[in-house]
């Protein structure tokens, strides 16, 4: 089974690139983030035409998560237990979608950005990650033998080498110690980054501004964190850097793993 995660940064803008990549890459299940549309706006027919079903959670022109798969999705779940909301009414955002594919439990996740260290969105981000870790711990306790992976845009660079210049990010989000501690919490409950051992170097995101991609001034913020039962089945991993090239790319690229 070939599984991938990709922050597509508006599926309506990039439907052609995504469907073309799905066919070229021979991917079975793609977790998408930032689809930026409601269900009725998603270009589902383009995916059906190439043999993929779509399951999604989108509320408006912001955020949004989805799966495109050649394998039927089972046990679809929107959000996780005690997932916090944001804003005056603490409304939940479209940031988490779970589904099972041929016995493999996957979550497509778009972690809050955080914005700045003194912004309420930063505290929201840390609370969101804390609740996700608690929910994941329960999943692992109840079904330890089920292959489980959290996939998506975590908006965290866990290592200094995961950004092009750590000094440039001094005092900024994505590299602060509380965010890195929140990321490490997933390792403490039994998940591992299944891509890094096979692809130790490489970025997954390059800003559109200031020629960041041509200069290779990127960040590694998209991850696949797998349980032991998932990790032991991984035999290949790729960060598809070429998808940042060409006309109208997302600012993120696909991260791919193959399972036995």
For residue 25, the model assigns a pLDDT of: 98
Beta strands in the chain (DSSP E): 2-7, 29-33, 53-57, 65-69, 73-78, 96-101, 104-110, 148-153, 192-193, 222-226, 234-239, 255-259
Residues 6+ apart with CB under 8 A from 190: 140, 227, 228
Residues 203-230: tens digit of each pLDDT = 999 999 999 999 999 999 999 999 999 9
Residues 3-18: tens digit of each pLDDT = 999 999 999 999 999 9
- Residue 88 pLDDT grade (very low, low, confident, very high; cuts 50, 70, 90): confident
For residue 142, the model assigns a pLDDT of: 97
Report d(CA 190, CA 195) in Å as an integer.
15
Structural domains of the chain, ranges and CATH numbers in brackets: 2-259 (3.60.10.10)
Q: Is the pLDDT of residue 231 over 90?
A: yes
Helix axes 120-142, 177-188, angle to 10 degrees: 10
Residues 60-81: tens digit of each pLDDT = 999 999 999 999 999 999 999 9
Report d(CA 154, CA 79) in Å as an integer.
15
Which candidate, 226, 236, 233, places its Cα nearest to that of 256? 236
pTM for this structure?
A: 0.98
Residues 105-147: tens digit of each pLDDT = 999 999 999 999 999 999 999 999 999 999 999 999 999 999 9
Size of the chain in residues = 260
Backbone φ, ψ for residue 167 (5° rounding): -65, -30
What average pLDDT does the structure give for the chain? 98
Residue 176: CB atoms within 10 A of its CB come to 18
Please answer whether residues 32 and 97 qualify as being in contact, where contact means their C-beta atoms are separated by less than 8 angstroms. no
């Amino acid at each position: 089974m070939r599984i991938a995660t990709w922050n597509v940064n508006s599926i309506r803008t990039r439907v052609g690139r995504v469907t073309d990549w799905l066919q070229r890459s021979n991917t079975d299940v793609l977790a998408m983030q930032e689809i930026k549309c409601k269900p009725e706006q998603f270009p589902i027919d383009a995916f059906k035409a190439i043999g993929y079903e779509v399951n999604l959670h989108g509320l408006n022109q912001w955020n949004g998560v989805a799966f495109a798969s050649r394998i039927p999705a089972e046990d679809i779940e929107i959000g996780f237990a005690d997932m916090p909301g944001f804003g005056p009414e603490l409304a939940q955002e479209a940031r988490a979608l779970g589904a099972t594919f041929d016995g493999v439990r996957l979550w497509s996740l778009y972690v809050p950005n955080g914005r700045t260290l003194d912004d309420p969105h930063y505290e929201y981000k840390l609370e969101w990650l804390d609740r996700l870790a608690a929910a994941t711990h329960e999943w692992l306790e109840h079904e330890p033998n089920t292959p489980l992976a959290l996939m998506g845009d975590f908006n965290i660079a866990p290592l200094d080498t995961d950004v092009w210049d750590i000094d440039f990010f001094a005092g900024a989000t994505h590299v602060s110690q509380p965010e890195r501690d929140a990321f490490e919490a997933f390792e403490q409950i039994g998940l591992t980054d299944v891509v890094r051992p096979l692809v130790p170097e490489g970025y997954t995101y390059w800003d559109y501004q200031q020629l960041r991609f041509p200069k290779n001034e990127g960040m590694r913020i998209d991850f696949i964190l797998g349980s032991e039962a998932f990790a032991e089945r991984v035999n290949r991993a790729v960060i598809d850097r070429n998808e940042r090239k060409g006309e109208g790319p997302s600012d993120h690229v696909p991260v791919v793993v193959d399972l036995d």
